[in-house]
Structure 1
Amino acid sequence: MPELPEVETVRKGLLHLVQDKRINEVIVRWPKIVEVPTIDEFCQNLIGERIETVQRRGKFLLFKLTHFDLISHLRMEGKYEYFPEEELSPIDKHTHVIFKFTDGSQLHYNDVRKFGRMVLVGKNQGFLYKGIQQLGPEPTREDFDLTKFITNLQKSTSLIKPLLLNQKVVVGLGNIYTDEALWTAKIHPQQPASTLTHRQITKLHQSIIEILAKAVNAGGTTVRSYKNALGEAGAFQMGLNVYGKMNEPCPRCETPIVKIKVGQRGTHFCPYCQKLRRKVS
């Protein structure tokens, strides 16, 4: 699943490619992609709309249009592909929504697993969408309040990894960056969140902010099919310490990295650096 750095990189790519373009026609080939409104209304309302900008909240993309906000969530494997008029190619079988622009270029939404969703709402109503309103803070020093983070963890009954995957605690973390942040903070993924000390939570808070910022700068992490809107793979996989590194030596202590299931998610960690402590003094 694209995580925050990948979605932010897609946003930047889309902004570079489609800002100020005007929509001439929309074709929806898989109706379930569109949640609201009806397919006919969705396609009709978008005709003549200009893409003013592209914003992001958590893992949601928001296309700010002349009269509407188009909300897009990539889910597991959704991606956008841009084609200048002179480079148009046959429609891929996994292309489910096609935006045709007045200059002849096209933007295709491609999704192998068909899990992605789009919602069209009124102008400047995107951030009022229920799924967006329920999101926690962005993982930045300005938005991600340490005191509130400490409170949320200490009152939780969850293990730390599933809790970090909850987008109400902090947005943008998925499997990759949760494993990386926990390794950096030397916290076992099965550690009960409520047992963490202020010092551990402070280190984890710092790790989340720094790792996601570095991943954004690197264009995200390429695992399987991820590419940004420019068709480029991310480069942060070169800086991963534990994710996808099973049986490889830990960069800190050289103990082999192990992989287990936590909350039904494959989880990588170092058994020496990240010891499980039921009681933390």
Structure 2
Amino acid sequence: MFSFALTPEIITRVLGWLHTAGLFALGRQADAPASIKADGTQVTPVDLELERYLTTQINHAFPDHNVMGEESGQTSRAGAPVTWVIDPLDGTSAYLEGIAGWAIAVGILVEDRPVYGFHYAPRLNEMTFTDQFGQVIRNGLPVKRLPQERWHRRAYLAVGSASNYDYRLNIRRCRTLGSVSTNIVYTACGLAAAAFIPKACAWDLAAPLAILQSQGAVLRYLSGGPFSLSSLLDGSNLREPLVAAHPTLIDQVCRHISYRPPTSPLQQPGMR
């Protein structure tokens, strides 16, 4: 089995890339124009520029590795044992609307398994990543708080902005943080009790899944079936929703989420 050793030098390099990308994104946030992609999601020139920058840095540092990005797909080295999965701007809508939870996420897959993850939320000034020992580091310190094992009075479910339209969330406290990756990372770090992910692709999940697993939490389908990131490496979207939580809590959360029959939403045509 192939292995890839994440060294302190590599970590320092990746953190530098993310800080540079974050400063660029912050500087362009006030006037970034948006267009609509074929799948109905928004994209800005910032998404494209950040992905080009990160891809260039990875290709230069690791010429034998594959790179998969949200906007550009995979490099010509598809099939390499190590793949870097980039979400240059997770939460583009939040970014455009001034909501703080958008993030830059980079996951490292070894033989299609998420092993290391880097998540940077510039507006929140939060950098979370897995180190070479599998420990989760948040803003320079090891994360001491574990994923929540039970539901309590202040617990909340991290959700996407459209979750309550398609699904009935029979949970008192739900919060929209701004991006899929931030929802999962907050769950991993014990801030959110769980996360509900109705729609996502590999680039949304690679980095936060590595962080989540390092903290002992799980990501599985709402129906109860196991989830494998490899099912999305062809660029496809989820076939059904996911829930992230501690293993002792996830069944309880899933029982309180159900499908809502469609109605006519109040929204701008072509947007989601």
TM-score, normalised to structure 2, is 0.27
Larger Rg: 1
TM-score, normalised to structure 1, is 0.26
Q: Which of structures 1 and 2 has the larger relative contact order (alpha carbons within 8 angstroms, sep 6+)?
A: 1
